[in-house]
Amino acid sequence: MVEAIILGIVQGITEFFPVSSTAHLVLLPWVFRWGGDLNTLTFDVALHAGTLLALVLCFWRDWVEMLTQKHRLLFLIIAASVPAGVAGVLFNDMVEESLRSPYIISIALIAGGIIMFFSEKMFKHRSMEKLNLPDALLIGIAQAVALIPGVSRSGITISAGLFRGLDRTSSARFSFLLSTPIVAGAALLHAKQMISGDAHYNLDLFWAGFAASAVTGFMAIQFLMSFFKKYSLNIFVYYRFFLAAVIILGIWLKT
């Protein structure tokens, strides 16, 4: 139970901080030798459901406006969600079986950090209201790439927004809004497996992780929306490089 809560807290923070939540959820069990129900993609999705609740609580007004008034923005969110949705359906099994390794995570952390670093040199001051379809599709493709553990969905989608000239706050807001349907879709994709009689998961662990990720996720979003008004992505870039170095060192020591 304590391990589930710790992973929930880590998920709530790292889902929105551009440092890759999946990387941390894979690495913690690897480092501390946690196993069983905690070290599965299905448990990751349960934690993502907690962050989905955090997203709804933070941005429900935006969704009400999109559903009642801002139909153009809703269309862009839907269009941008398609690439990741397709990638998730087609490559989910491959990701679970082949890509959740410290080697791939370390490479993805470094590559994502480099992209984030250079995106900071490209952004201008376009608001989210000026977002167009090519912008949305590019950000959506970036979100699909984030299926690879270590890339960071928020990191690469915010960076894509910056490359398209959006300001940080607008990039972050669109990134967080865009994550809502894809996280919801991922949770639904695995819901049958989680509650199926053929799958034996400890639901108490899932609910503990869900609650922890929801609370910390809500706090993380509030913090980041204020943070990006003043500060760049660079602090997260340095953390990604540091974490990748620690992983590489850990791999070397284990061999």
Q: In this predicted model, what pLDDT tens digit does every residue of 4-40 receive, in sequence order?
A: 898 889 989 998 999 988 788 777 777 777 766 665 6
Q: How many residues does the chain have?
A: 255
pLDDT confidence of residue 250: 83
pLDDT-derived band of residue 198, with 50, 70 and 90 as boundaries?
low
Residue 237 confidence (pLDDT) above 70: yes
pLDDT confidence of residue 211: 92
Q: Which of the pair, 159 or 183, is modelled with greater confidence? A: 159
88-93 CB contacts, 8 Å cutoff, 24+ apart: 88/144, 88/147, 88/182, 88/185, 88/186, 88/189, 89/189, 91/147, 92/41, 92/189
Q: Of 180, 202, 214, 255, which is closest to residue 39 (Cα–Cα)?
A: 202
> Could you give the CA distance from residue 197 to residue 150 in angstroms, rounded to a whole number?
32
Q: Of 190, 189, 83, which is closest to residue 143 (Cα–Cα)?
A: 83
Across residues 175-186, what is the average pLDDT?
88
Cβ neighbours of residue 51 closer than 8 Å, sequence gap 6 or more: 11, 12, 15, 16, 21, 183, 213, 214, 217
- Does the pTM surpass 0.75? The reply is yes
Q: In this predicted model, what pLDDT tens digit does every residue of 38-79 receive, in sequence order?
A: 656 567 677 878 999 999 999 999 999 999 988 999 999 999
CA distances from 9 to 4, 187, 217 (A): 9, 18, 8
Asked if 232 contacts 168 with a C-beta cutoff of 8 angstroms, the reply is yes
Residue 129, φ and ψ in degrees, nearest 5: -65, -20
pLDDT confidence of residue 208: 87
pLDDT confidence of residue 37: 63
